[in-house]
Amino acid sequence: MAELVVDLTVREIGRAAEEVLGKPVIVTAETDIARDLSVDSLALMNIVMELEDKFDLSIPLDRMADIQTVGQLAALIDELRTKV
C-alpha cells in the first residue's frame, strides 16, 4: 500500500513541477530534481509551496537539504502526512 501512496505522490510532484515550470515533465521516483528537471532553488521552493498547498502540510526547509530525487521528496511528504 505504501508504494501506491508514493506513486500517487510522485504523480502530484510531477503536476506541481509542470505548473511551476510551465512545461510538461515526466517524473519517476528516480528523477533527480535539479539535474533531470533543470530546477533551480527558486523553482524548487515554488514546487514545494504547490505541494504544501496540495497536501495541506508544511515541508521543513532543513529537511529539503537532503532531498535529491522525486522519490525522496515523495517519501518525505508521505512521512509528514502520516504525522498530521
Question: What is the CATH class of 2-83?
Answer: mainly alpha
Cell 505541494 locates to: 51
From first to last of its 84 residues, the chain has per-residue pLDDT tens of 556 666 889 999 999 999 999 999 999 999 999 999 999 989 999 999 999 999 999 999 899 989 999 999 999 999 999 875
Alpha-carbon distance values, 43 to 39, 46, 79 (Å): 6, 5, 23
Q: Are 55 and 16 in contact, with CB atoms under 8 Å apart?
A: no
pTM of the model: 0.90
Other Cβ atoms less than 10 A from the Cβ of 25: the count is 19
What is the domain partition of the chain in residue ranges?
2-83
